[in-house]
Structure 1
Amino acid sequence: MSNFIIGTAGHIDHGKTSLIKALTGFDTDRLREEKERGISIDLGFSYLDFPDGSKAGIIDVPGHEKFLNNMLSGVVGMDLILFVVAADEGVMPQTVEHLNILNLIGVKNGIIVMTKSDMVDDEMLELVAEDIRESFKDTFLQKAKITTVSSKTGAGIEDLKGEIRLAMNNVEPRSVTKQARLPIDRVFTLKGIGTVVTGTVIEGTIRLNDEMSLFPQNTNQRVRNIQVHNQNENTASAGQRAAINLAATAKKEIRRGEVLAEKDSLHISDMMDVELILLSDTLRTVRNGSRVHFFVGTAEA
């Protein structure tokens, strides 16, 4: 089985983080403010074990509209989306917004997960399922399976694991032979270890003691240690979440959105050719000279 990244999407408080905890046993809300407010603010990370010993990385994104930039940083490198819709609320504003974003970036694989099944009766479950089918027409999820679960009681969780395992067979493997590239989504320091960056290896393979570059500043970096799923490894390959310990680099010198890549593998430019696609329901018009928010990789420019 190739390496594999699962991501969440959906409206605030529809149970994305609780679902990941039910699947993995890990609480991806790591910030004190997240614990206090009961909502996800930044990206959360975990992994899912399978009976054959394989693992899939997981990225849990926030659902609140105020943290949309954090959600956008997380969708990079996702192979399969668990699109969460709560049975007690149905399709909501951020449901539509997240669906639009995933369509625009070209995500192809997903499972619709109807959560909080323990809070409604069977008639309500059927009504919400109909609402989902109508709202998800003409999207990458229009034919996706709807799996009903309760993170509270555990109902449907094992069935969902089976659906995830089957969906992994439809994901196109990433190239591990291309030049390595990792968009950084988190930077922190550990006492006695130093600066650590995390991200999804988009392509290629990063090896212990590799001499790499940090872009766009194009500074030289040496890979001192690699962790994948909390285990020390000699390599991190395309499709894996990785924590990379960089030698002799301070945390203040690195920001989310920068890219760790092989030396001389990227060209630095302040211009880019893009194709603009306007959503059919948008009320905005883009004209020559319009100012827009621009997201690339894990960065907002």
Structure 2
Amino acid sequence: MIIATSGHVDHGKTSLVNALTGIDTDRLKEEKQRGLTIDLGFAYSEAESGERLGFVDVPGHTKFISNMLAGVSAIDCALLVVAADDGVMPQTLEHLEILNLLGIDYGLIALTKIDRCDEQQISRTLEQITQVVSRTFLKDAEIYPVSSITNEGMETLQVALELTADDIEHRRGNGQFRLAIDRRFSIKGSGVVVTGSVFSGSISVGDELFLMPQVIPVRIRGLHTQNQEAESAIAGDRCAVNISGQGLELELIHRGNWLTTNPAVATARVDIELAISHSETRPFSHWTPVHIHSAANHVTGRVALLETTDTTRIAPGQKGLAQLVFDPPINLCFGDRVIIR
């Protein structure tokens, strides 16, 4: 099961993952210096059932929302983190809205930093949380009070995550293989490695794939799933894939590219059902310029409303048919969800 943290900056997401796994997910020098998660971090732990739990630690600061979106695109479970002393904050609401729009089905809520608060403050924050999740997929989710300093509540939260993993039906490995690349690097003696989440299908060592949208044929030399060496991977896995190919260079690979068995060309436009957030303050207009987030990809574009006249718009909380026009073209499949900002 792949779990993503979400929530406002400095609400204790990284410390929470560290307490659950023993792994510090802040790997960049700047993150250490600033005490602030900037890019995606990853950690893993072993459940008693033997299942491997993978954690994606996403940044909470609004400046790094693109990185957050890249981290939550193919998760099984969301872990919403709210600090007891701060309560619900702007990025709490934005992250919750994103998770809801992406159609995440499973989630839990961690009330962190309870060691800093008295019972009255904890009760106020619990009431806040209950109110803001009441119209979302987390409306029936349990709230787990925890402290990363004293470890209070950590064992209960760990058990809850493991029980959730038991409840989640494993995704089937049929269909075209698709992995959304969120990191790439080179290892001496091995060559190019890309990491990402598997959206669909399955692969094995030795299989041949395409790097898209560059349409570069590659072969799988090695695999790691959930941070362990493996011979195969299926939908729902978190993967590191060692690839080789004629003319393949690290500089040719970017966050948002795909590893896939499907060499279909990228598209410049796609028709969608567009849902406007309840939190928006004004109607959405025809040909609005937007930032488009699809899996780990982030491009710019425009939205053409398909059911509009010169005077009609899509109001907050409403839906309508629209066409996304991308610059540059990107790879999409039927049923993919995108976030526009």
> Within 1, Cα distance between the matches of 2:138 and 2:24?
27
CA–CA distance in structure 2, aligned partners of residues 89 and 54 of structure 1 = 34
2:43 to 43, 46, 55: 46
Aligned residue among 204, 209, 219 for 1:212: 209
Choose which of 93, 107, 110 in structure 1 pairs with 2:107: 110
1:188, distance to aligned residue in structure 2 (A)? 0.9
* Aligned-partner residue type, residue 288 of structure 2: S
- Measured after TM superposition, the shift of residue 230 of structure 1 is 3.0
The alpha-carbon deviation at position 263 of structure 1 amounts to: 4.2
Moved more, 234-243 or 24-33: 234-243
Match of residue 258 from structure 1? 257
**Native 8 Å contact 2:44 2:227 kept in 1:** no
- Give the Cα–Cα distance (whole angstroms) in 2 for the partners of residues 263 and 107 of structure 1: 25
My pick for the range that moved more, 39-48 or 282-291, is: 282-291
TM-aligned CA deviation for residue 161 of structure 1: 0.8
Matched with 1:147 is 144
CA–CA separation in structure 2 for the residues paired with 1:136 and 1:238: 28
**Structure 2 residue identity aligned to 1:231:** Q
Point out where structure 2 has 5 or more consecutive residues left out of the alignment.
300-341
Q: Does 2:228 correspond to 1:231?
A: yes
Q: 1:84, CA displacement in angstroms?
A: 0.1
**How many Å separate the matches in 1 of 2:149 and 2:237?**
29
Q: Is the 8 A contact 1:43 1:59 kept in 2?
A: yes
Work out whether residues 185 and 194 of structure 2, in 8 Å CA contact, stay in contact via their aligned partners in 1: yes
Q: What RMSD over aligned residues (CA atoms) do the two structures have, in Å? A: 1.2
Deviation at 1:127, TM superposition (A): 1.2
Deviates more, 1:45-54 or 1:84-93: 45-54
- Tell me the equivalent position of 1:272: 270
Tell whether the 8 Å contact from 1:174 to 1:202 is kept in structure 2 after alignment: no
Q: State the Cα distance separating 1:252 from its structure 2 match.
A: 0.2
Counterpart for residue 332 of structure 2: none
Q: Percent identity?
A: 44
Counterpart for residue 70 of structure 1: 67
Instruction: Out of 206-215 and 62-71, give the one that drifted further.
Output: 206-215
Deviation at 1:274, TM superposition (A): 1.3
Q: Which runs of 5+ in 1 are unaligned?
A: none
Report the AA paired with residue 257 of structure 2. Answer: E
Q: How many correspondences in the alignment?
A: 297
- The residue type paired with residue 273 of structure 2 is E
**Larger RCO: Structure 1 or Structure 2 (Cα < 8 Å, ≥ 6 residues apart)?**
1
Mapped to 2, the partners of 1:244 and 1:85 lie a distance apart of 34
Structure 1 position 29, deviation (Å): 0.5
User: Structure 1: which 4+ aligned runs deviate by more than 4 Å?
Assistant: none
Deviation, 1:299, is: 0.2
| CA distance in 2 between partners of 1:272 and 1:164 (Å) | 37
Superposed, 1:1-301 pairs within 5 Å as 4-248=1-245, 249-264=248-263, 266-301=264-299
The amino acid across from 1:259 in the alignment is W
SS of the aligned residue for 1:232 comes to: strand
Higher strand share: 2
Q: Please, what TM-score do these two structures have when normalized by structure 2? A: 0.85
What secondary structure, in the 3-state scheme, does the structure 2 residue paired with 1:94 have? helix
The 3-state SS of whatever aligns with 1:291 is strand
For residue 267 of structure 1, report the CA deviation from its aligned partner.
Answer: 4.5
- Rounded to whole Å, the distance in 2 between the matches of 1:145 and 1:184 is 32
